[in-house]
Amino acid sequence: MGLFDKLFGEFIDIIEWTDDSNDTMVYRFERYGNEIKYGAKLTVREGQAAVFVNEGEVADVLSPGMYELETRNLPVLSTVMNWDHGFSSPFKAEVYFVNTRRFVDLKWGTKNPLMIRDAEFGAARVRAFGTYGVRVADPLRFMREIVGTDGNFGVDEISDQLRNLITSRFSSAVGAAGIPVLDMAANYEQLGDVIGTRIGPEFEEYGLELTKLLVENISVPPAVEEALDKRTSAGMVGNLDKYMTYQTGVALEAGASAPGGAAGAGIGMGAGLAMGNQMANSMGQREAPRQIAHGSVAGGGAAALPPPLPGAKQYHIAVDGHPTGPFDMTALQQQQSSGALTSSSLVWSPGMEDWVEASQVDDLASLFVSVEPPPLPVR
């Protein structure tokens, strides 16, 4: 190798960029005085594009590959500058490497709750957040519209603008969709597709492509969440008797494991018995109308009724399938006057084997005898 070849070899540049970050979208290759030598090697890797800027004007955009910077390889550059000066610098240029890979897991969300009209709850406020992905689809447009002369452009420099754009379009999409608040969780994918379709053209104006938009959560304010939880809990209780039986078991178990030992177990047992008695009473009240509806209260059922007060004989009256009373004769007359007691009403008194109609009881028959007034005297 001659001296000239050695000197020429020392001036051949290697222009390349290996990205060791996760958020750099555009990187300007730094050169002393921006000098590009004739015959320099340019390597554009997969996921990159190289933009040549000569004297403030974009001269060429190169896709992935290895290039030798000569006029026969760069016809666009040959029209703006003549490369005929050997190994000396024919011009000064800038090379911008544009990262064309996908930038994923970018966050978006509503800063303030959105007011929407819900068919079930009326006016409601909701918050939403999610993620999206984006990539540079048109390096030249992206350089002209967004980057400019920024030598190290990161995704954080445009993420705020993109997030605001998504949030604004999300508000319009949710308001127009008319999806009930309780059904939004089942429509996250649908909402993401609708929003992506609406704002895709607006991303293209920046030279970007919206690759994916995900709605991860739509929530209501804490006060509304609490009300919904109570409503859900009430629905999950279901059969009240079974729930009370379960609570009785929990109380017994808690009492047995209490630090007070036997005393704690006694307290738990007492609580369980009290709840059991309450449950038995409620069940007894529901069974009594059923027995009356069948026209009989058996001996066991009669024992469950309250004992009569001492003194005059008293009667119980069945009203709408429920036992009422006891009533003495004065009270029975009032019941008959008000219409609560009729001749066909079922009555029962201690000592009677079964419920019978009031007209069949000798003591009560007089209450239903119609007494006609005597005729007026003739004057």
Band of residue 156 on the pLDDT scale cut at 50, 70, 90: very high
Band of residue 264 on the pLDDT scale cut at 50, 70, 90: low
Q: State the pLDDT at residue 75.
A: 53
pLDDT at 10 over 80: no
Report the pLDDT averaged over residues 306-326: 71
Yes or no: say if 343 and 353 are a contact pair by the CB < 8 Å rule: no
61-87: pLDDT as tens digits? 999 999 887 655 565 555 545 544 444
The answer as to whether 133 is a domain residue is yes
- Do residues 41 and 75 share a domain? yes
Tokens (6 digits) for 250:
């929990």
Q: State the pLDDT at residue 148.
A: 87
- Do residues 269 and 312 share a domain? no
Q: Please, is 12 exposed, middle or buried when counting C-beta atoms within 10 Å of its C-beta (0-12, 13-18, 19+)?
A: middle
pLDDT at 89 over 70: no
Yes or no: say if 134 and 190 are a contact pair by the CB < 8 Å rule: no
- Percent pLDDT > 90 in the chain is 20
Q: State the pLDDT at residue 339.
A: 76
The answer as to whether 376 is a domain residue is no
pLDDT at 26 over 80: yes
Yes or no: say if 255 and 266 are a contact pair by the CB < 8 Å rule: yes
Cα separation, 263 vs 255, in Å, equals 8
pLDDT at 302 over 50: no
358-370: pLDDT as tens digits? 777 777 777 776 6
Q: What residues does 42 pair with on adjacent strands?
A: 15, 67
The answer as to whether 192 is a domain residue is yes
Amino acid (one-letter) located at 249: G
Mean pLDDT check: name the lowest of 161-165, 238-242, 248-252, 318-322: 238-242
Amino acid (one-letter) located at 195: I
- Do residues 217 and 150 share a domain? yes
- Do residues 275 and 320 share a domain? no
Domain boundary residue, one of 65, 99, 133: 99
- Percent pLDDT > 70 in the chain is 69
The helix or strand, by DSSP H or E, that contains position 154, with its residue range, turns out to be strand 152-154
Yes or no: say if 320 and 287 are a contact pair by the CB < 8 Å rule: no
Residue numbers of the domain that contains 52: 3-99
Mean pLDDT rounded to a whole number for the chain: 75
The answer as to whether 335 is a domain residue is yes
Amino acid (one-letter) located at 79: T
- Do residues 272 and 175 share a domain? no
pLDDT at 132 over 80: yes
- Do residues 331 and 251 share a domain? no
Band of residue 275 on the pLDDT scale cut at 50, 70, 90: low
Q: State the pLDDT at residue 209.
A: 95
200 vs 171: which has the higher pLDDT: 200
- Do residues 276 and 320 share a domain? no
The answer as to whether 230 is a domain residue is no
Cα separation, 228 vs 258, in Å, equals 33
Q: State the pLDDT at residue 77.
A: 56
The answer as to whether 374 is a domain residue is no
Nearest to residue 134, comparing CAs of 89, 165, 172?
Answer: 165
Cα separation, 279 vs 271, in Å, equals 12
184-197: pLDDT as tens digits? 878 888 888 888 88
Yes or no: say if 355 and 297 are a contact pair by the CB < 8 Å rule: yes
DSSP 339: T
Cis peptide before 326 (omega within 30 of 0): yes
- Do residues 77 and 42 share a domain? yes
CATH code where residue 324 lies: 3.30.1490
- Give the total number of structural domains in the chain: 4
Report the pLDDT averaged over residues 304-332: 72
205 vs 117: which has the higher pLDDT: 205
Nearest to residue 322, comparing CAs of 346, 342, 354?
Answer: 346
The answer as to whether 375 is a domain residue is no
DSSP 350: T
Q: How many residues does the chain have?
A: 379
Mean pLDDT check: name the lowest of 222-226, 281-285, 349-353: 281-285
In terms of average pLDDT, the best of 1-15, 139-153, 305-319 is 139-153
The answer as to whether 270 is a domain residue is yes
Cα separation, 292 vs 298, in Å, equals 10
